[in-house]
Amino acid sequence: MTRTLTLLPLVLLAATPAWSSPADAPSVYVMALPANVALIAVVPRDKDLFDLDLRVEVVLPLGCGDRMAGLLRHGGASLDGPDDFDAVLERRAAGECKKEPSRVAARWAIRMRLPDGATRDLTIGSRAFKVARAGAKVTLDGQPPEGDVPGAPPTAAPATLVIGDVTEAKLTTAKALPGSAGTAVEVTLAARWPKCAGPLLGLLGRGDASSKFALDRFTPIALAPLDGSCGAAVAKPRPATARAVVRVAQFSVGAQRLALPAATAAKK
């Protein structure tokens, strides 16, 4: 499988947009290629359903205080279709970094339908794995669960990040960050979500050669359970507010094209 690495910012909400310095900027989330994936535990559920407790690790060239945030399933919060995920990293939007490599990791649980005797593909980022079951035994690439350190928390409920379908979006605040090339923005939007989706977390961004790989296209993202309970998207759009740091003069949220105010964009 060939995969193009796409950056994913997922922006935390704050009560008020202070943004007086890069340190005040909203955090962003990006997709990251995993350096290692380990099976920590397996929890059997009803019939052929199993929860896989995974530890996902990413190696970064700089130490910026980043951390692993979880996994995003490309098929949404469904147990049908390929088990195809991307690792998501929470990253500081601005500020100083230590010039030394860092390894960040976190456990994340997913649910998988796995009949006895079956082998199922699991893809995370650019890495492909084989999940196999023989009776009560489940392995990842032939390796059984390795467990965690004593006192570690139990396996969490399975979950995934999901994407909302934007119906409208408006730029409400834009403020240049002193000492940074970015502009902190606030966007009010409305989007249709799966019935099980939680509150808006932020914006999923992507860029390509046309934007010199700067993030210039965004869609909203939220957290949802991955237990087979999620229904289709609700017809009525849900309003929300997202904050992000952008480094381009024009960007889109869903199909809505937005632009920084001329005075703000001129400072970049």
pLDDT, tens digit (0-9, with 9 covering 90-100), for 84-132: 999 988 877 666 778 888 899 999 999 999 999 999 999 999 899 999 9
pLDDT of res. 265: 64
At 154-184, the pLDDT tens digits run 999 999 998 899 999 999 999 888 777 788 8
Query: What's the domain count of the chain?
Result: 1
Q: Per the domain annotation, does 239 fall within a domain?
A: no
Q: Per the domain annotation, does 27 fall within a domain?
A: yes
Q: Which token pair is 201?
A: 């977390």
pLDDT of res. 73: 95
Within 10 A of 48 (CB to CB), how many other CB atoms are there? 13
What is the pTM (predicted TM-score) of this model?
A: 0.84
Name the helix (H) or strand (E) containing 80: none
Q: Per the domain annotation, does 29 fall within a domain?
A: yes
pLDDT of res. 93: 65
Cα→Cα distances 192→12, 143, 179, 198, 221, Å:
20, 40, 37, 12, 11
Low-confidence stretches of the chain (pLDDT < 50) are 1-16
Q: Per the domain annotation, does 206 fall within a domain?
A: yes
Q: Are 263 and 229 in contact (CB under 8 A)?
A: no
One-letter amino acid of 146: E
Q: Per the domain annotation, does 183 fall within a domain?
A: no
In b/e form, how buried is each residue of 126-162, taking b as 16+ CB within 10 angstroms?
Answer: ebebebbbeeeebbbeeeebeebeeeeeebeebbbbb
pLDDT of res. 105: 93
Q: Per the domain annotation, does 74 fall within a domain?
A: yes
Structural domain containing residue 32: 1-164+192-230
Three-state secondary structure call for residue 262: helix
Cα→Cα distances 195→78, 142, 156, 198, 238, Å:
12, 36, 21, 9, 11
Q: Per the domain annotation, does 150 fall within a domain?
A: yes
Q: Per the domain annotation, does 31 fall within a domain?
A: yes
